[in-house]
Amino acid sequence: MQSPYRFLFTDLRSDQPIDVLPVQGVTLDDYIGKVGRLTGTVPVPNREIAERARRALVPGRTGVWVERGRDIWWGGILWTLRLASDARGFLSAQIQCGGWESYLYRRLLLDTQVAQQVDQFDIVRGLVDYAQSTRGGNIGLTYDPDVSGVTRDRTFSRYDLPTIGDLIDQLAAVERGFEWRVASYRDTSGRRVKRLMLGHPIIRGGPTEIVLDHPGPVLSYTWPHDASALANGWQSRGASINKNQAVDSFPIMSPVLVADDDITAGWPRLDGSSDHTTVELQGTLDAHARADAAAARRPVQIPEVEVLLGDNITPALLGSTIRLRVRDLWHPTVLDSRYRVVGMSISPPERGRPETARLYLEVAT
Q: What is the pLDDT of residues 36-88, one digit of tens each?
A: 999 999 999 999 999 999 999 999 999 999 999 889 999 999 999 999 998 88
Instruction: Give one word for 75, left, alpha or beta, with left for phi > 0 and alpha for psi -120 to 50.
Output: beta
State whether 344 and 218 are in the same domain.
Answer: yes
- The conformational region for residue 256 under phi > 0 = left, psi -120 to 50 = alpha, else beta, is beta
The answer to whether residues 179 and 319 belong to one domain is no
The total number of structural domains that make up the chain: 4
Question: Are residue 137 and residue 94 in the same domain, yes or no?
Answer: no
Q: Distance between CA atoms of 115 and 122, rounded to whole angstroms?
A: 9
The b-or-e profile of 59-91 (16+ CB within 10 A means b, else e) is eeebbbbbbbeeebbbbbbbbebeeeeeeeeeb
Q: What is the pLDDT of residue 350?
A: 78
Q: Quote the pLDDT of residue 142.
A: 98
- Residue 251 forms part of a structural domain: yes
pLDDT at 283: 92
Residues 216 and 359 in one domain: yes
Q: Cα(244)–Cα(247) distance, rounded to whole angstroms?
A: 6
Residues 322 and 214 in one domain: yes
Q: What is the pLDDT along the chain (365 residues), one digit of tens a residue?
A: 567 899 999 999 999 999 999 999 999 999 999 999 999 999 999 999 999 999 999 999 999 999 998 899 999 999 999 999 988 889 999 999 999 999 999 999 999 999 999 999 999 999 999 999 999 999 999 999 999 999 999 999 999 999 999 999 999 999 999 999 999 999 999 999 999 999 999 999 877 789 999 998 899 999 888 888 899 999 999 998 776 666 677 899 999 999 999 999 999 999 999 999 889 899 999 999 999 999 998 877 789 999 988 768 888 899 999 999 999 999 999 999 999 999 999 988 877 778 899 999 998 87
Asked, for residue 20, whether it belongs to a domain, the answer is yes
Residue 195 belongs to a domain? no
Q: Are residues 75 and 216 in the same domain?
A: no
9 shares a domain with 93: yes
**Distance between CA 178 and CA 89 in Å, rounded?**
51
Domain boundary among 99, 131, 155: 99
Shared domain check, 267 and 154: no
The alpha carbon dihedral of 263, 266, 271, 276 has a sign of negative
Q: How many Cα atoms are found within 13 Å in the side-chain-facing hemisphere of 271? A: 4
Cα dihedral angle (85, 90, 91, 94), rounded to 10 degrees? -80
Q: Give the pLDDT score at 1.
A: 55
Domain that includes residue 35, residue range: 5-99
Domain containing residue 307: CATH number: 2.40.450
End position of a domain, from candidates 50, 81, 99: 99
Please tell me whether residues 357 and 220 are part of one structural domain. Answer: yes
Q: Is 360 helix (H, G, I), strand (E, B) or coil?
A: strand
CATH classification of the domain holding 41: 2.30.300.10
Write down the pLDDT at residue 253: 95
Question: Is residue 92 a part of any domain in this protein?
Answer: yes
Asked whether residue 200 is domain-assigned, the answer is no
> Do 214 and 339 share a domain, yes or no?
yes
Q: Write the DSSP symbol of residue 269.
A: P
Judge if 215 and 347 occupy the same domain: yes
How high is the pLDDT of residue 226?
Answer: 84
124/136 Cα distance (integer angstroms): 20
198 located within any domain: no
**Which of these three, 252, 282, 297, is where a domain ends?**
297
H or E stretch including 113?
Answer: strand 113-119
Claim to verify: residue 219 and residue 327 sit in the same structural domain: yes
